[in-house]
Amino acid sequence: MLRASSSVSGSSIIPSQSLRREPDASGFYKSAPNAPQAQKCYGRAPPFTKGRHYKGPSSWTPLILLDNFKKLNSARGLWAAIALAIAARIGIFVASIIHPISNERGLPVSPLHTQAYWDFQFYLASLARYIESFSEITQEFIQFYQDPFNSPVIPFISGPAFPLVIKILDYGPENFLPAALFYLLVSIVLCAAWIIWLSKKGVPTLWLIVFALIPNPIWFTLVISPDLLFAALFAVFFLLYFEVRPSAAQTTGWVVVLITMLLLRPNGFSVLLFVAVHAAWLMIQNRNINFLRGSLVLVLLVVFGLYLYPYFLREMQSAGSLLGYFGYAPSEYTNGLFPALPGWIDHPVSWAALAAAKFMYFVGLRPSYGVTETLLVVARGGAGLILLPGIFYLFWAGRRSEMALIALYCLPILLGPAQDRYYLPIYPILFLYGVMAYQAVWRAVSNRQKTQPT
């Protein structure tokens, strides 16, 4: 079955049937054999104008002017979206200094206040442990792996990358601003880079503006956490890894970025699994084993698997009681929400309900955890109306490589706690497919109205 491509041109990002393309082994798309090729007409006549009546490029000037006008409007829309993204982030940054925003626990969030989220103390404690005694941390891991299934001690410490950022920026009382300004810069550059990427995919200006003003990514401009840094590293990895013909420098770049992601957050292991699966698939399909690449991926899997397994084990142990979904604990879902029904009906339906609830929480379609104002809850959840259709459309019409990446990224979230902060790295991809989903529906409705007899 032919699938729609995410590579687009013009104002529409839904290709026609004649222009659909099949992915090759790497997950990229090749042009269909019967696809009409775009022809440039600058400086030469189009095929149907050659002959004695052809006067040169000047006779083609109206179409050149029309093409340039379209490009100018597209460029204006792109820069307008980027300008709005910058203005929104700077505006919220300044406004929160004047009037701090309350988080879901009712605590103030501002560039001039200390971080109020639960995990920040965990990162500070991890930094203190790295500074005090690295050998003690090593001994905990050694003790754990002497009996990994029954060990009374489970090493629980964050990756060293974010504590190192805290140390370098000297984040602390009376020195909050340098880190806040650094996060503001990262947020602006990250959003601008994704807007350019979406624009190249053919996303219209109005949707680019919506993307620029989505509240949740702006919120993480104010939160000094690994989330925004991980999202920035993921963007660099994605843009380098999916280059059609990556250079040696680009390949080295995404490998370095991947290792940094693994040292920053456990979610980086999902990206490593994707690289391993993709590399294995290419080797099998091409019947060409690359020992260097295979060895590198295997070493990373073993080293970071041993390093992150205790963290994963600890998270899975607390997943059943740490977070509820729509008023029910995960254990209530797994035990069955409908005891009046037979077990063979109750349990599958309840498990499906848990998966659906986690997806809803993941994209931000959830109630507040605390005392957040209703308007902010609605604004935060608005992105989910684009991202949730984007997930489904990605697995319906997306590239196989992107399906694998997103599936492996979401798998630990479905197994463990699901929160909307986890979508930050992949939300531009889901946003693209969400826009494609809405355009597909719009086209289907429009075509049906046109074909109905009057």
Q: CB 262: neighbour CB atoms within 10 A?
A: 22
Task: Extract the residue ranges of the chain whose pLDDT is less than 70.
Answer: 1-73, 318-322, 370-372, 453-454
Measure CA 454 to chain center: 45
Residue 400: both structure tokens together? 């196989």
Output the pLDDT for position 260: 97
Specify the pLDDT at position 425.
95
Q: Where are the domains of the chain?
A: 323-454
Predicted pLDDT at 8: 38
What DSSP string runs through 116-153?
Answer: -STHHHHHHHHHHHHHH-HHHHHHHHHHHHHSTTT-S-
Task: Give pLDDT, residue 64.
Answer: 55
Q: Are 337 and 353 in contact (CB under 8 A)?
A: yes
* pLDDT computed for residue 314 by the predictor: 81
